[in-house]
Amino acid sequence: MRATIRDVAKAAGVSTATVSRVLNKPDMVDPETMERVRAAMERMAYQPSAIARGLSAKRSDTLGLIVPGITDFFFNELYKGIDRASQQNGMKVLLYDSEHSRERALDGFSILGGYQVSGIIFTSKLVTEDYDPILQRVGIPVVLTLTQSEARTPLPSFRIDEVRAMFDVVAYLVTRGHQRIGMIAGRQWDDKTGELRLEGYRKGLRHFGIEYNEELVEYGQYRFDDGYQAMQRLLEKQPNFHMTALCTASDEMALGAIRCLNDNGLHVPEDISVVGFDDLPLARMITPRLTTVAQPFAEIGEAAVSWLVRAVGREPSPSEIGDYLLPHRLVERESVRALGS
Amino acid sequence: MRATIRDVAKAAGVSTATVSRVLNKPDMVDPETMERVRAAMERMAYQPSAIARGLSAKRSDTLGLIVPGITDFFFNELYKGIDRASQQNGMKVLLYDSEHSRERALDGFSILGGYQVSGIIFTSKLVTEDYDPILQRVGIPVVLTLTQSEARTPLPSFRIDEVRAMFDVVAYLVTRGHQRIGMIAGRQWDDKTGELRLEGYRKGLRHFGIEYNEELVEYGQYRFDDGYQAMQRLLEKQPNFHMTALCTASDEMALGAIRCLNDNGLHVPEDISVVGFDDLPLARMITPRLTTVAQPFAEIGEAAVSWLVRAVGREPSPSEIGDYLLPHRLVERESVRALGS
DNA sequence: CCCCTTGATGTCAACGCTTTCATTACTATT
DNA sequence: AATAGTAATGAAAGCGTTGACATCAAGGGG
C-alpha cells in the first residue's frame, strides 16, 4: 500500500494539514518542520494522490484535449506544444479521440468533465450550434485550435489565417510563372477549413486575373488516399493535361497527388509543381522535398494552453475571447518549378 | 455547479447508494426505480465524477502510457491499438511523455501512480535494473511494448522477434540476388532493439555465407536525420560505391538514407535497394514505396491492454509474465530491385 | 401463524486530500 | 504589563463516490 499523507504526518510528528502545506504553501511552514516533513516523504517515497487532491481541491491540474483522430499527422506536433506548455504550468493532459464522430466529440466534453479537467482544448472540427448545450453546461473554459466556432457560445480560437495562407500560395505560384493552377481542396461535413482554403485559392486567382475553372478543382478529406483519388479524377477530367501547378489543402493529400502523378509517369516538379499545406515533419523527408505552408502547430498548442491557464477560475473578458491568428509561413523547397520565360 | 449524485438522489427520491447502483450494478435495482433515476440523471445532465469514484473505489479505470517521445512516428499506430482496446474495456488512457529521458521515465511511474492508474504500459526504452525500486513500489501491473526488460522484476513484454525480422530482410535481399548488403543500425544508450536488429543482420549474412563487413555498417538513433547522416558516412567510407542493398533499423532512417542517396545522384531502387523497418503509414506514400518490415503496432497495443485488464487486481501467474512475440511481416513494395542474373 | 429467505433500498463510514477556523506561543506596540 | 498582531500548527469538516452492513417488506415453507 502506498503511503498516504497521514503516514507521512505521523512519521514526521505533525498533522496532515502541515504536510499538505509543505506541498502547497511552502512559505507558511517553519523551515525546520519543513525539513522533517520532506525527509519523511523522501523516506516513504510518498506520492500525493492526484485523485484525492482533485476531489478535495476541486481542481485536477489536468487539461482535456479532444482530437478527431490520433492518426492525423498533425497531431504529434500540436500535442508537443500542448504538452510542453502544460508541463510548464504543472498540468497533465488527458487525451480524448473523437474518431471523427460528432457524437463522440460531444461525449468527450462530458467525460473529460467527469475528470474535473480545468479546461478543454478542442481541435480541428468545426464547432456548430448543436454544441451549445454542452458548452453552456461544462462550466470550464474551452479553447479551439485549428478550427473555429459557429456556435452561439463565444469561444477563443487559435489558428492561422487560412484564406490568406492559400492566397499566398497562389501568389507564390503566379510569381513563378504559373497560370494554370489546380487545387485539391478539403471537404468534410464538419470542417470549415476546407472552404476557407478554397476561398483563398479563388481570391488568389481573382487577384491575378486568372479565371476560376472547376475543371481544375477536386476535393478530398485531407488524407493520402483522398489526395491520390482526387488527382486521379483531375487527370481523367482533362485528358490533355495542361495544369502546371497544384495547390493542396494538406501535405498528406499532396503526397497522394504526387504518388498518383508518379504512377502516371508524371514527375514533380518537372511536369507539374505541387504545394502542400501543413509542413508536417515528413514534408522535408520526401523526394522532392515538399514546398508547403507551415502551420505553427506547436505554437498554437502552447498558446491555447496559456490561454486556458490564464482563464481558469475566472470569467474571461469578452476581449479575450476572439480569434487568435498565428503567423503561417510558406516554406520553399523543391516541389515547385519556376516556369522558364 | 455540476449535479452530484446527491442531487440526483434527491430528485429521484432515492438514496445515493441506489443511484450509484443503477450506474454500477444495474441488476440489483428495481426496473421502476431505475427508470426514475435514469430520468433524473438525464434531466440534470448528471455526469459522475471520475475523480470521486477513483478515490472511493480505489480504481480509476485509467491506464497509464509512458512513451519516450510523442513525435516518434510509430506512436500514433501504437496508441490507436491501445485506445481501441481501452475503450472496449471502459478505460481511459493517461499519456506521459518521457522525452527520451531516463529520469523523466522514472518519474512517470510515480506521477501516473498518483493518478491511481490501474496499470502502466511502458514503451520502447529498455528497462534496466535501476527501474527495480520503482517497479517494486508501484504495486500495479506494468507491461512493456516494443522493448524488453533487463531488470530483476519480471515484466511481460509485447514485441516482435527483432532478430528474426532482420534475418528475414537479409534472406529476402539475398534471394533477390544481393550480396553486398549494408545496414544502418539503431544505436541508443537505452535501447536493446538496435542490437537485436543488428544481430539479425549478422545472422542473416552468416547464414548465407556472406562475410560481415564493418565498412557497410553505420549507426543512428532511428530518426530521419540520423539516417541521412549515417548514409553520408557510408558513402564517404566507400568512395567506389559497391553496396547494392541497404537494411535499416527504421523507416525514418530509410527515408533519410534515400534522401541522402538522392542528393548524391543515386536512385532507389535502380542504384541501390533499401529496406525499411516499421511499416509506418508513410512507407506506402513515398516514391518509391518502401519495402519494409511491418510491426503490428496496433495489435501490440491491444494485446498489452488486454493483458493489463486481465491482470488488474490479482497477482499474475509467472507463466503469464513472459515475452509475447507478435508476428511481423515483410511488406514487399518498390524499394528493392531484383538483381538481374 | 411464525420464521427464514430474498430482493430492494437506505445508512454511514471510508477514500486521501485541502481548507477554514481555532489554538498556541511569540513579538511588537502602547 | 496589558493588548494586539503574527507566525506556525492542529482539529475537523468536507469533496463525490462506493461498499459493507443494516433495514424492511413480501413471499414461501413448515
**What is the pLDDT, as a whole number, of residue A189?**
81
Quick one: closest CA in B to A117, which residue? B51
CA distance A54 to A32: 28
- Give the architecture (CATH level 2) of B61-160+297-326: 3-Layer(aba) Sandwich (3.40)
**What count of other Cβ atoms lies within 10 Å of the Cβ of residue A57?**
12
CA–C1' span, B292 to C20, in Å? 64
Task: Determine whether the distance from the CB of B21 to the nearest atom of strand C is below 7 Å.
Answer: yes
Question: What are the grid coordinates assigned to A299, written together?
Answer: 505554437
Structural domain B162-295, CATH architecture: 3-Layer(aba) Sandwich (3.40)
- Helix pair B31-44, B5-12: axis angle to 10 deg: 120
Mean pLDDT is lowest, of A206-220, A268-282, B186-200, B307-321, for B307-321
Is B42 (CB) below 7 Å from strand C? no
Residue A188 confidence (pLDDT): 81
pLDDT digits (tens, 9 = 90+) for B228-242: 999 999 999 987 778
Listed range (A232-241, A291-300, B214-223, B331-340) with the worst mean pLDDT:
A232-241
Per-residue pLDDT of chain A (341 residues; tens, 9 = 90+): 789 999 999 999 999 999 999 999 999 999 999 999 999 999 999 999 999 999 999 888 899 999 999 999 999 999 999 999 999 998 999 999 999 999 999 999 999 999 989 999 999 999 999 999 999 888 899 999 999 999 999 999 999 999 999 999 999 999 999 999 999 999 888 889 999 999 999 999 999 999 999 999 999 999 999 999 999 999 999 877 789 999 999 999 999 999 999 999 999 999 999 999 999 999 999 999 999 999 999 999 999 999 999 998 777 888 899 999 999 999 999 999 999 76
- pLDDT score recorded for residue A341: 62
Contact in structure between B267 and B311 (CB atoms under 8 Å): no
Whether nucleic acid strand D comes within 7 Å of the CB of B16, the answer is yes
Alpha carbon distance B117, A285 (integer Å)? 38
CB-based burial, B277-288: b 16+ in 10 Å, e otherwise: bbbbbbbbbbbb
Domain B5-48: state its class.
Answer: mainly alpha
* Of B1, B139, B285, Cβ closest to residue A2: B139
The predicted structure's pLDDT at residue B162:
97
Place of cell 492559400: A166
Whether CB of A37 is under 7 Å from strand D: the answer is: no
Distance from CA of A121 to the nearest CA of B (A): 16
Q: What is the pLDDT of residue B2?
A: 84
Answer yes or no: same fold for B61-160+297-326 and B162-295. yes
Half-sphere exposure of A213 (CA within 13 A, CB side): 15
Q: Which residue has the cell 504545394?
A: A275
Task: Measure CA of the first residue to CA of the last residue in chain B; give whole Å.
Answer: 78
A10 sits within 7 Å of strand C by its CB: no
Rounded CA gap, B246 and B259, in Å?
A: 13
A162-294: CATH topology is Rossmann fold (3.40.50)
CB-based contact A113 B285, cutoff 8 Å: no
What residues of A are in the B interface, CB distance below 8 Å? 1-2, 45, 47-52, 54-55, 60, 70-71, 75-77, 79-80, 83, 92-95, 97, 110-111, 113-116, 137, 139, 224, 252, 255-256, 258-259, 262, 281-282, 285-287
Residues B121-174 pLDDT 10s: 999 999 999 999 999 888 899 999 999 999 999 999 999 999 999 999 999 999
Give the separation between CA A48 and CA A306, rounded to whole angstroms: 25
For chain B, what are the domain ranges? 5-48, 61-160+297-326, 162-295
Nearest nt (C1') from B58 Cα: C15
Nearest to A250, CA basis, from A196, A194, A329, A173: A194
* pLDDT tens digit sequence for B55-98: 999 888 899 999 999 999 999 999 999 999 999 998 999 999 99
Q: Which of B45, B71, B287 sits opposite A137 (nearest CB)?
A: B45
CA distance A33 to A39: 10
Confidence of residue B317 (pLDDT cuts 50, 70, 90): confident
- d(CA B242, CA B196) in angstroms, rounded, equals 26
Q: In chain A, which residues have their Cβ closer than 8 Å to the Cβ of B285? A: 224, 252, 255-256, 259
pLDDT of residue B341: 62
b/e per residue, B138-151, with b = 16+ CB within 10 A?
bebbbbbbbbbbeb
Residues 47-106 of B with CB under 7 A from strand D: 47-49, 52-53, 55-57
d(CA B170, CA B173): 5
Beta bridge partner(s), residue B95: B65
Which residue's C-alpha cell is 513515398? B286
